[in-house]
Amino acid sequence: MQPVSALKGVGPRVAEKLGRLGLHTIQDMLFHLPLRYQDRTRITPVGSLMPGREAMFCGRIELADVVYRGRRNLLCRVADGTGSVLLRFFHFSGAQRDSLQRGVLMRCFGEVRSGQTGPELIHPEYELLPAGSEPQPENRLTPVYPTTDGMHQLSLRRLIGEALDTRLQGIREWLPDEVLDLLRLPTLREALDFVHRPPPGAPVGVLMQGRHPAQQRLAYEELLAHCLGLRRLRERIRQHDAPGIDADGALFRRLVLQLPFALTAAQQRVIGEIVEDLRQRQPMQRLVQGDVGSGKTLVAAAAALHAVEGGWQVAIMAPTELLAEQHWRNLREWFAPMDIEVAWLAGRHSVRARRSMSQLLASGRAPVAVGTHALFQREVGFHRLGLVIVDEQHRFGVHQRLMLREKGAADGRIPHQLIMTATPIPRTLAQSVYADLDVSVIDELPAGRQPVETAVVPDSRRDTVVQRVRRACLEKRQAYWVCPLIEESDALELQTATATEVALRQALPELQIRLVHGRMKPAEKEQVMAAFKGGEVDLLVATTVIEVGVDVPNASLMIIENAERLGLAQLHQLRGRVGRGAAASSCVLMYRAPLSAAARERLATMRATSDGFEIARKDLEMRGPGEVLGTRQAGEQQFHIADLVRDQSALPQIEKVATILLDRYPQHVAPIVRRWLGIRGSYADV
């Protein structure tokens, strides 16, 4: 594969910028696909320009001048007889300033916005036209590519155009004929050429939605590459040795006897699947999906006890200190009667405390460790790590999970891995997104969990909501009042937790009200939460720090301020803090008008259903997989052209094609994975 430096004008500096985009070879350039398209196929009269829309227009320069208004601006006024528009440049050269002369004809493209004197554009693309020429629009849609600092769209288009002209015919088709016959889609070369250079008359709407057959052909191969990469990963992991943990379950039976509730059939089924996996000498790679309150922590405890009974250590990793602490408290309480020590490692602990915990783990005296990213630290070693449990796995990066697993690989055996998430996704999607994992679903809530009635009210009815809180608390029930921010923010104009606590103390003097937020000292936060759980506090004013990990059965009312600002998954997690006791529970979503269409849809979804899978499906539809699965920030699953929501109907067929390739054309697998995933295809041992 030829390097990008084989293209004209690509020296070391340009190659370094392209490298930041993951573009190292000319093949990479061909598969650097447009994010979207701009329609420059028609010229809009200046008088018809609309703020908020992109447009192509032509006109003559009426004036160009440099002004100083806080910062240096180059202003250029352009008119065409129907109206005038202002072009504004903050970064410009002397040559650019001199070229913008009165009377020169220019063609411009950019997003129009409202200025103080009328429509204006900031740093539009423009072209100065020869005198006497007739302005012409483009004859095809213009691609817009993902880019980086210092790499202009014009440069990317030129380089990709050169790659298409000189290398497209040499691109290899790795899908065998029997698969292509099955697809009935364009060839790879036809699809690439069309997507980079949509011809005149190409259907704009279909292309903008990503549903053109050329785009579908490429999306199909990208999803196939992803599936193949995960299937290869699964097979590679199966080749490793893992401890075969065989125990008779005595410890877990002791735990069940001390619980004040019975396990659900779903919990028993999933625990059975995990125990069977742990007995194998191949590493378990199992994902447990469960809705809020479905009892995932108890399932994790069952897995941990099985490993401890078999003579192995367990590491349990959570993304936040609050959640890690909650797990530690639950497990310590459950395991204390069995004399099983549970170590807790968090970043906030002193060096001395961490050293002491590390010694307990290295010696094997502590069979179970619970922690945040502190578990990754080099000085933390394990005596005999046999099981790693990762809660909310998508909040951790690939390399972090790999580092934790390698801590148990000293004797040539790698630990079993159990992954838990309260962000459920549809099973078809889960089988593709997590193709390297076995998937278990806890699809049943414990007996006694009360359905939570959800109301959506404007903040103009705040007084009514306050009275509702008073009635609930005077009936000896407890309530949460959740605010998204801690301190005042003029930009967002949100009610803050501190201001709300003061206001509620004045409105409800007869109630015990306390405040908890993420910036409190750990001991102080712990004291407030313990008082709330013990019934000494009637109303807890909190930030979203209580989103996960807080279990107070007597709390039956939740008020969420500025609910329109929060996502569906976060709203669902917060609502899950109530409905854990015998009393009927309610959640009030209080919003500030006016609502955007998306916010209105989110709040309507919360009112209509409490099914976590349905809420996750809607969240996926509204926000996209990169946000919902948490992979945008983790650097994984960034698709070039595929869309897991739009293309999910093709996933079952892609699974079949992946099997065909692995069985009959194994030599085609690595090139397809490398073409689409590049370096991400090497995240092989997570």
Q: State whether residue 531 is helix, strand or coil.
A: helix
Burial string for 468-484 (b: 16+ CB within 10 Å, else e) reads bbbebbeeebbbbbbbb
| 149 inside domain | yes
Four-residue CA torsion sign, 55, 61, 62, 68: positive
User: Is residue 223 in some structural domain?
Assistant: no
The whole-number pLDDT of residue 116 equals 85
| pLDDT of 482 over the 70 cut | yes
| pLDDT value at 10 more than 50 | yes
Confidence of residue 409 (pLDDT cuts 50, 70, 90): low
Same domain, 480 and 410: no
Nearest to 656 by CA among 221, 187, 224, 213: 224
Residue where one domain finishes, among candidates 545, 576, 609: 609
Closest CA to 413 of 241, 282, 236, 285: 241
Q: Span 135-157, mean pLDDT?
A: 88
Asked if residue 398 and residue 419 are part of one domain, the reply reads yes
Q: What is the 3-state secondary structure (H, E, C) of 536-605?
A: CCCEEEECHHHCCCCCCCCEEEEEECCHHHCCHHHHHHHHCCCCCCCCCEEEEEEECCCCCHHHHHHHHH
Q: Assess if residue 84 is contained within a domain.
A: yes
Question: Which percentage of the chain shows pLDDT scores above 70?
Answer: 90
Residue 184 sits in the same domain as residue 277: no
Q: Is residue 674 part of a domain?
A: no
My answer on whether 358 and 419 are in the same domain is yes
414 and 272, same domain (yes or no)? yes
Quick one: pLDDT at residue 493? Answer: 42
Is 420's pLDDT higher than 60?
yes
In this prediction, residues 621-626 reach a mean pLDDT of: 65
| Tens-digit pLDDT profile for residues 241-254 | 899 999 999 999 99
Give me the pLDDT at residue 631, please.
Answer: 43
Does 78 score more than 90 pLDDT? yes
**Local confidence band at 630 (pLDDT 50, 70, 90 cut-offs):** very low
- What pLDDT score was predicted for residue 627? 47
- Average model confidence (pLDDT) for the chain? 86
One domain, residues 83 and 66 = yes
Residue 500 lies in a domain: yes
Q: Indicate whether 633 pLDDT > 50.
A: no
Query: Is the per-residue pLDDT at 398 higher than 70?
Result: no
Domain boundary among 609, 634, 665: 609
Q: Which secondary structure element, helix H or strand E, spans residue 253, and what is its range?
A: helix 250-258
In this prediction, residue 402 carries a pLDDT of 60
Whether residue 339 is found in the same domain as residue 422? yes
Same domain? 463 vs 541: yes
DSSP states along 614-661:
HHHHHHHHHH-HHHHTTHHHHT----SS--TTTTGGGHHHHHHHHHHH
**Which one-letter DSSP state was computed for residue 228?**
H
User: Average pLDDT in the 450-457 region?
Assistant: 90
Which domain covers residue 535, as residue numbers? Answer: 452-609
Residues 87, 179 within the same domain:
no
Q: Write down the pLDDT at residue 405.
A: 66
For residues 15 and 54, membership in a common domain is answered with no
In this predicted structure, what is the pLDDT of residue 343?
92
Separation CA 254–CA 251 (nearest Å): 5
At residue 393, the pLDDT reads: 58
Whether 192 and 94 share a structural domain = no
Number of separate domains in the chain:
4
At residue 422, the pLDDT reads 77
